[in-house]
Amino acid sequence: MSGIALAAAGAAGAVLLAAGVVLGRLTARRDGGSAGLDLGTPVERATFHTLHTASLAAPPLRAGLAGETAGRAVGPLRSLLGTESLCLTDGSAVLAWDGPGEGHHHEEAAGLAAATLETGRSRSAPTGCADPGCALRWAVTAPLTGEEGVLGALVAYGPRESAVLVRAATEVARWVSVQLELSELDRSRTRMAEAEIRALRAQISPHFIFNSLAAIASFVRTDPERARDLLLEFADFTRYSFRRHGEFAQLADELRAIEQYVALTGARFGDRLKVTLRVAPEVLPVALPFLCLQPLVENAVKHGLTDRERGCRVVIAARDAGAEAVVTVEDDGAGMDPERLRAVLRGEHPGGSGIGLSNVDERLRQVYGAEHGLVIETGVGAGMKVTVRIPKYRPGVHPSAP
């Protein structure tokens, strides 16, 4: 019996010894490693640590000052400041709180923030907390500013009055403000893209409406039936183009709009414009960004008819390619200098031309990623062929009815 106990004790000892040796090795190696790698002086390391913490708080803040994002940012911010508690507010309410004391300091924080919102200045004040066990004795409030003035406030709580805390809180608040300004920049960029789309839609109208109406007018006496048909096409087309809802449409609807566009343009140019559509029925239900093909056709017609004498042939084809639909718009017109085209796609518009092309390119890239931008084959005098590859399925892309 005692022999067994002895053996067990021996085994346990051996295990402990082995564990100790391994542990020792590991820690030793870690120390040795850090010495060998030279991770910098303590000051430098503290800087790195601070930068890392700040980088953790940055992404949520880039989405703007709102409940959820503030909640994710407030943790890293508190460890950046090293205070007991930290809270972020917007203009009216506390958005997020990290650390103890939220229960009985909530009201007070909202009040402090309101005061700062009015003055726009940092402030340091005692909390006068009734609870003797509470460590939140002193509060520093700093404003968070955006482009349109003060957006909210940062309230940092400490155990005593401290100039360091005031300074730190002010600096952090300034850093947060910069992030918020960047987020506003992001949003305004998106708004601009939307406005551009809207502008593009509006851009269809003046020229096209004038020309179409003039063409229709020319038929009113000679061929009233045709004039009526054209007017209905015109009505359909404008209703579709000016619809306000939905970012995506079915390819079938887009093609129908193009068909109306072609009918109206054809009325103006007569036999000089020949348009062929070759469409595989499989791809008609594909969803794609609203009005992203019509500018391509418009462009093809414009290029094709540059030469007044010769006619122009435009071929619009949509074919099935497995998980993608491939749409091509081809004309046999004047073509374009590839260098100039490159400039247009970069967003430079010499003479204001090609806004349609670059806009479509931009939107396709935005929705489907960089590999789905326009592919354009052209040369001076060689016509132009624009190819769009549209995935049949992409999360979040759902057509809305016309």
Partner 1 sequence: MNQTYAVTAVTAVVLATVLIGALGLRVSRTTSDFYVASRTAGPRLNAAAISGEYLSAASFLGIAGLVLVQGPAMLWYPVGYTAGYLVLLVLVAAPLRRSGAYTLSDFAEARLESPQVRRLASLFVVGIGWLYLLPQLQGAGLTLEILTGAPDWVGGLLVAVVVTGTVAAGGMRSITFVQAFQYWLKLTALLVPALLLAAAWYGDGAPRARFDAPAVLREHTVVRVADTVRVGLDAPLRVAVTGTVDGVRYEDRTVTLDAGTHRVGAGTVLALPAGSAVPERAGTGSDDPLGWSQPLAGGRDGHQLYATYGLILATFLGTMGLPHVAVRFYTSPHGRAARRTTLVVLGLIGAFYLLPPVYGFLGRVYAPELALTGSADAAVLVLPERMVGGVLGEVLGAVLAGGAFAAFLSTASGLTMSVAGVLAQDVLPSRAVRHFRLATLLATAVPLATGAVATKVPVADAVGLAFAVSASSFCPLLVLGIWWRRLTPPGAAAGLLLGGGSALAAVMATRAGLAPAGWPHTLMAWPAVWSVPLGFLTMVLVSLATPRSVPAGTPAILARLHLPEEFTAPVPAQEARR
**Residue 163: exposure state from Cβ atoms within 10 A (0-12, 13-18, ≥19):** exposed
Nearest distance from C-beta of residue 285 to partner 1, angstroms: 6
Q: Which region, judged by CB under 8 A, interacts with partner 1, from 66-74, 177-185, 201-209, 232-240?
A: 232-240
Nearest distance from C-beta of residue 311 to partner 1, angstroms: 13
Please, which residue, 172 or 251, has the CB nearer to partner 1? Answer: 251
Binding pattern for the stretch 280-319 against partner 1, x by CB under 8 A and - elsewhere: xxx-xx-x-------------------------------x
Task: Report the C-alpha gap between 152 and 175 in whole angstroms.
Answer: 14
User: Looking at 115, 279, 343, 355, which residue binds partner 1 (CB under 8 A)?
Assistant: 279
80 close to 173: Cβ distance less than 8 angstroms:
no
Task: Report the C-alpha gap between 185 and 41 in whole angstroms.
Answer: 37
Q: Which region, judged by CB under 8 A, interacts with partner 1, from 63-71, 114-122, 162-170, 227-235?
A: 227-235
Nearest distance from C-beta of residue 372 to partner 1, angstroms: 10
Please, which residue, 109 or 273, has the CB nearer to partner 1? Answer: 273
Max Cα-Cα span within the chain: 122
What does DSSP assign to residue 400?
-
Q: How far is CA 25 from CA 34, 37, 336, in A?
A: 14, 18, 70
Helices (H), 120-242: 163-220, 224-241
Order of strands, edge to edge, in the sheet holding 94-98?
A: 94-98, 85-89, 149-158, 138-146, 123-126
Q: Is 88 in the site for partner 1 (CB under 8 A)?
A: no
Contacts (CB under 8 A) with partner 1, residues 163-192: none
Q: Is 229 in the site for partner 1 (CB under 8 A)?
A: yes
Binding pattern for the stretch 332-371 against partner 1, x by CB under 8 A and - elsewhere: ---------------------------------------x
Nearest distance from C-beta of residue 250 to partner 1, angstroms: 8
Contacts (CB under 8 A) with partner 1, residues 373-392: 392
Radius of gyration (C-alpha) of the chain in whole angstroms? 33
The region that residue 309 occupies, defined by phi over 0 for left and psi between -120 and 50 for alpha, beta otherwise, is alpha
Q: Is 266 in the site for partner 1 (CB under 8 A)?
A: yes
User: Looking at 45, 226, 278, 342, which residue binds partner 1 (CB under 8 A)?
Assistant: 278
179 close to 62: Cβ distance less than 8 angstroms:
yes
Contacts (CB under 8 A) with partner 1, residues 243-262: 245-246, 250, 252, 255-256, 259, 262
Burial pattern 126-161, b for ≥16 Cβ within 10 A else e, equals ebebeeeebbbebbbbbbbbbeeebbbbbbbbbeee
Q: Is 33 helix (H, G, I), strand (E, B) or coil?
A: helix
Please, which residue, 246 or 347, has the CB nearer to partner 1? Answer: 246
Nearest distance from C-beta of residue 241 to partner 1, angstroms: 14
Two tokens, residue 284: 């008609």
Binding positions for partner 1, rule: CB under 8 A: 229, 232, 235-236, 239, 245-246, 250, 252, 255-256, 259, 262-263, 266, 274-282, 284-285, 287, 319-323, 371, 392-393, 395, 397-402
